[in-house]
Amino acid sequence: MISGLSHTTFAVSSLDRSLYFYANLLGLKPIVRWDRGAYLTAGDFWISLMVDKAAPEATNDSSYSHIAFAIPPEQFPTLREKLLANEAEEWQTNSSPGESFYFLDPDGHKLEIHARTLPDRLAWLRANPKPGMRWFK
């Protein structure tokens, strides 16, 4: 039985560039690095970077699939500005409740920083139901 999320692995074209991005810009904690990979943590969540010739290199994928990182609301504006100052490309403007910034990593992986919690989002949905919405018991 699944008990939660273990980790996410990103195929990257440059380990140095990706380590800088994830550790220095996003503030993930580097744990270990080797020639073609590295592990970092975001709280209890584990991120794996693996050098791969098939890294997406700024794909034109129009899907909404992405990874969202939690950030305290008071830190959101500073990190957003830091990412923009370091040329993180915004791939979508925020239209959801709460503070979100949608951006690409150096290889085009879609990421988000989000300053709200699941209970915040559920409260918003209760106040703003979507068509056809039903709650599970």
Q: Could you tell me the residue ranges of all domains in the chain?
A: 1-52, 65-129
Write out pLDDT tens, residues 19-60.
999 999 999 999 999 998 999 999 888 898 989 877 765 555
Same fold flag, 1-52 and 65-129: yes
Residue 60: per-residue pLDDT: 57
Provide mean pLDDT across the span 5-26.
90
Question: Percentage of the chain surpassing pLDDT 90?
Answer: 42
Question: Going by CATH, does the domain composed of 65-129 fall within 3.10.180.10?
Answer: yes
pTM of the predicted model as reported, rounded to 2 decimal places: 0.80
Instruction: Give the distance from CA 49 to its chain's centroid.
Output: 13
User: Is residue 104 within a helix (H) or strand (E), and if so which, with residue range?
Assistant: strand 100-104
CATH topology of domain 1-52: 2,3-Dihydroxybiphenyl 1,2-Dioxygenase; domain 1 (3.10.180)
DSSP string, 49-102: EEE-TT--SS----S---EEEE--GGGHHHHHHHHHHTTPPEEE---SSS-EEE
C-alpha to C-alpha distance for 16 and 37, rounded to whole angstroms: 10
| For the chain, counts of helices (H) and of strands (E) | 3, 8
Provide mean pLDDT across the span 130-134.
84
C-alpha to C-alpha distance for 56 and 86, rounded to whole angstroms: 20
- Per-residue confidence band for 1, with pLDDT thresholds at 50, 70 and 90: low
Residue 74: per-residue pLDDT: 93
